[in-house]
Amino acid sequence: MGTTASHIGKDLLSEYQELTFLTKQEILLAHKRFTELLPKEVKHDPETRVPMKTILTLPELKSNPFGKRICYVFSTAPQKDGSLTFEDFLDLLSAFSDSATLEIKSHYAFRIFDFDDDGTLNCDDLEKLVNCLTGETDETRLTSQEMSQLISNILEESDIDKDGTVNLSEFQHVISRSPDFVSSFKIVL
């Protein structure tokens, strides 16, 4: 691990600690995991990006039904291709860490579930969310009537202003009443 630390530098390591919910050891482990994803001939620098398909090979994301959305949400790539820099990767890990606040976790969960990136969870977003959670096989897919009823129930419970969508504030209100949310919204390296 001594070689990993030398690639980050003490000042940058301290800055990462201040800007994330991660410990020094977690940052060093994240750096090691990130650099392992790089092709051998690529020298790591702050602008180096790992493609989404490579990020999704990590066991923590490979089996996550929201893996692609997670990459898209945390990617700072101008072309929004889901590729991640090391700092994007740290942001992702920080938001999913045990130390992240409920506000941070719920903010990113909302963004992940907002499939069309319009700032609200509408019926289409909720249907995609349910399909991700239940699987999209014939055996697990809900009928259109079941889906319609479920979405109606979700909106009845969550849509405080009755505009037919769930905004971030409404989402955070629902999450605040769910004690299991914080413990289930994490990725551990």
pLDDT digits (tens, 9 = 90+) for 123-181: 999 999 999 999 878 888 899 999 999 999 999 999 999 999 999 999 999 998 887 77
Of 95, 129, 149, the residue at which a domain comes to its end is: 95
Q: What is the model's pTM?
A: 0.88
Nearest by Cα to 47 from 86, 9, 74: 86
Of 63, 95, 127, the residue at which a domain comes to its end is: 95
**What domain range is 164 assigned to?**
102-184
Return the beta strands (E) in 28-165 as ranges. 120-121
- Identify whether 159 is part of a domain: yes
CA atoms within 13 A on the CB side of 26: 20
Q: Are 86 and 118 found together in one domain?
A: no
Query: pLDDT of 49-103, one tens digit each?
Result: 999 999 999 999 999 999 999 999 999 999 989 999 999 999 999 999 999 999 9
CATH of the domain at 85: 1.10.238.10
Q: Are 53 and 109 found together in one domain?
A: no
Structure tokens at 62: 């490979």
Torsion of CA 129, 132, 135, 138, to 10 degrees: 60
